[in-house]
Structure 1
């Protein structure tokens, strides 16, 4: 095994670790949101620093590989893909932190009695589970270097987007029927958008996997072209 191969394998292990951190954050933030668990939310917010540190470590490793080994072809595509995948994972971590911050705010005076009915009709828990499964699926595609698995994700992302549209409609109805709780409704809209954005990041990761494995750029292509 060449030194370049050794370094790319190390880099892949770092990304695997980053994925584990981010998935754990997302799952804990969704649990905190579902139960309005303020101590758990605090843990999520505090843990975000570890994700940021890992993000910088992976970025520096990618830069080091490019500078020291001048990779070409598939090796270069791998490093470039990892740079973008790492950024997407860090953004998912930010979304998890934002949800945890909402839980902390929900426990202060103006949100002391948060309407659990709003949480239910928004479909937030279902969307969260779907977003988590998307990240797990695209992780499988990355670790197996399987572009066919990555392509499966595009349809799943569309299903999450459909849930987002339904959630917006349900929350809009709630705000109209409960004018005194407009603030809670608006906050819920922000959380729904965060989860929809996680789907977008999963899609971006899938595109990078296909770029790495197949040397094919999918940005600006139609859904049919993406699925192959």
Structure 2
């Protein structure tokens, strides 16, 4: 069977979408496990990390093969460059899912629902979920508008992350017994905030691939 560049691009795109879907699922499962203190679910996420790593290696090799075989230029070259960077960011998202799950298994601490509420964990989760939906839409349909939506959403995560330290400090002053829970919760908030940054990176790469617009290092307005 003769395979051309367009067919290989479609196959590579399909694999990256599989990786994207898997990493999103990993974060959602890890966060759900944290919310309901489900150690079995956390261990499932940790076990699935091997699949994430396998896809990471496959995408890297397929990109190298595409570069070597077709010597791409213009949009094809941007596609491969963007794919390599997106794959790197997705693998790191998978790492954060693994890290959250490891917290749950190793520390085995149930979080007081009050702490979830005051630290706006529901808003955090809703926001990262919306970012996942937008980035999937952007990737599947080459939708630059959907990709740009994640920039504003990422600022919500940043704000919650910044505010969390002061809130945790106040909660510990009121009740020193919650220090272990708050530190664990703070660690998970930091990881989700970093996932938001990685999703933003992916959005930038999608825009770069489609519109040849480089957003990285642009001055903030």
Q: Tell me the TM-score range normalised by the shorter chain.
A: over 0.9
The C-alpha deviation readout for 1:7-46, integer Å capped at 9, x for no partner, is 1110000011111111111111111111101111111111
Alpha carbons 1:207, 1:218 under 8 Å: kept = yes
Q: CA deviation at 1:172?
A: 2.2
Output aligned runs, 1:196-215, within 5 Å: 196-215=193-212
Q: State the 1:114 CA deviation.
A: 4.1
* TM-score (structure 1 length as normaliser): 0.90
Say what the alpha-carbon RMSD is for the aligned residues.
1.8
User: Helix, strand or coil: the match of 2:48?
Assistant: helix
Q: CA deviation at 1:184?
A: 2.4
Shift of the alpha carbon at 1:168? 2.8
Residue ranges of structure 2 left out of the alignment (5+ in a row): none
Change in CA separation of 1:2 and 1:60 when aligned onto 2, cut-off 3 Å: closer
TM-superposed deviation, 1:223: 4.2
CA distance in 2, matches of 1:125, 1:38: 20
| Farther-moved stretch of structure 1 (85-94 vs 173-182) | 173-182
TM-score normalised by structure 2 residue count: 0.92
Verify the 8 A CA contact 1:122 1:168 in the aligned structure 2.
no
Deviations 1:44-82 (A, max 9, x none): 111111111111111111111001111110000001001
- Per the alignment, residue 34 of structure 1 pairs with 35
Q: Does 1:181 align with 2:178?
A: yes
Judge conservation of contact 2:119–2:160 (CA < 8 Å) in 1. Answer: no
* Stretch deviating more after TM superposition (175-184 or 204-213): 175-184
Whole-angstrom CA distance in 1 between matches of 2:49 and 2:3? 35
User: 2:140 is matched with which residue: 127, 130, 143?
Assistant: 143
Quote the residue 2:86 is aligned against.
85
The 4+ residue runs of structure 1 with deviation greater than 6 A are none
CA distance 1:210–1:106, shift in 2 (3 Å): same
1:50 is aligned to 51
Counterpart CA distance in 1 for 2:96 and 2:122 is: 15
Q: Which residue of 2 aligns with 1:73?
A: 74
Report how many residues are paired: 220
1:103-114 paired onto structure 2 within 5 Å: 103-107=104-108, 111=109, 114=111
Partner Cα separation in structure 2 for residue 140 and residue 170 of structure 1: 35
**SS class of match (1:9):** helix
Counterpart Cα distance in 2 of 1:83 and 1:114: 38
Secondary structure of the corresponding residue to residue 71 of structure 1 = coil
The 8 Å contact of residues 28 and 44 in structure 1, kept in 2 or not, is answered as yes
